[in-house]
Amino acid sequence: MFFRPVKGQVINHGVCGHVIEDTMEVAKDFFEMPNEEKAKVYSMDPNKSCRLYTSSYNYANEEIHFWRDHLRHPCHPLDKWVHIWPENPARYRDVVGKYTNDVRKLSLRMLEMIREGLGLERGYFGEELTGDQLFAVNHYPPCPDPNLTLGLPKHVDPNVITVLLQENVYGLQVFKNGQWLGVKPLPHAFVVNIGHQLQIISNGKLRSAEHRAVTNSREAGTSIVSFINPCHDSIVEPAKSLIDTGVPLYRPFKYKDFLKFYEENKGDTEALMEAYKIKP
């Protein structure tokens, strides 16, 4: 099996088309359920593992609300978490369970290729750096005036690697060379984002990309996201073999501490990374 990037997206990835289609369908079915059914998992409590919320976890304190509903829950190991997932739609747990397993395998294969490309030792991206996985669905209803708000603000993902599945409704944009560029949805293709942790581990050789989601006045949009994260107590630092000058660019830290700081500075990528850089 080989991967092939097409306009920044990955195809020939080994995740079956029917698994992808079933997962997108069941995700859309979830958001089409009556409000009283969705309310069973709605929560603004950041400590709740499986929850649905609007805009962001910090809705009450936002100056500007974003035009999305967001469902997220942990999914690895599957047998530890599946019982807290939504009970409806009836096939949600079976379909999403299959998808998250398959996307995890794909993510680890891609990280193995990245490991080889960086020249790191075998097993570098083990359970400490990849043991936490989150499944999330972003639902963007039609927005009466897309000029007034975004679906998601500019940000870089805090994790190691993100695998994103778009529906056939345009919304994702990436920031490159001083401008925002749209990422056209391709059938069964994944957008793969490098997160902050991979930039730090590579000692700056790999760069995370800022991205955002714009709204649409005519159609609802749905995206499915798989986040591969370090375990919360894991220590993250530049790989020693990649420190060319003998001095790392970033200091070591616990991932859970990075996450806390990230939530406080999500929109300011430069300030976030500067806080973890080693000063001369």
Q: Transcribe the chain into DSSP letters.
A: ---EEETTEEES-S--HHHHHHHHHHHHHHHHS-HHHHTTTB---TT-SSEEEES-TTGGG-SS--S-EEEEEE-SSHHHHGGGS---STTHHHHHHHHHHHHHHHHHHHHHHHHHHHTPPTTTT-HHHH-EEEEEEEEE---S-TTS--SEEEE--SSSEEEEEE-SS--EEEEETTEEEE----TT-EEEEE-HHHHHHTTTSS----EEE---SS--EEEEEEEEE--TT-EE---GGG-TTSS-SB--EEHHHHHHHHHHSTT-HHHHHHHHBPP-
Angle (CA) 95 127 51, round 5°:
45
The least confident of 35-49, 92-106, 255-269 is 255-269
pLDDT, tens digit (0-9, with 9 covering 90-100), for 163-191: 999 999 989 999 989 999 999 999 999 99
pLDDT, tens digit (0-9, with 9 covering 90-100), for 62-107: 788 899 999 999 999 999 999 999 999 999 999 999 999 999 999 9
What per-residue confidence (pLDDT) applies to 136? 98
Instruction: List C-alpha distances in Å: 111 to 120, 163, 184, 268.
Output: 11, 12, 24, 26
Cβ-contact 82, 164 below 8 angstroms: no
Higher pLDDT, 266 or 154: 154
Sort strands 161-166 and 211-213 into parallel, antiparallel or unpaired.
unpaired
CA dihedral 89, 75, 165, 264 (to 10 degrees): 110
What average pLDDT score do residues 25-31 get?
Answer: 98
Q: Show the tokens assigned to 148.
A: 């007034």
The conformational region for residue 246 under phi > 0 = left, psi -120 to 50 = alpha, else beta, is: left
- Position 7 pLDDT exceeds 50: no
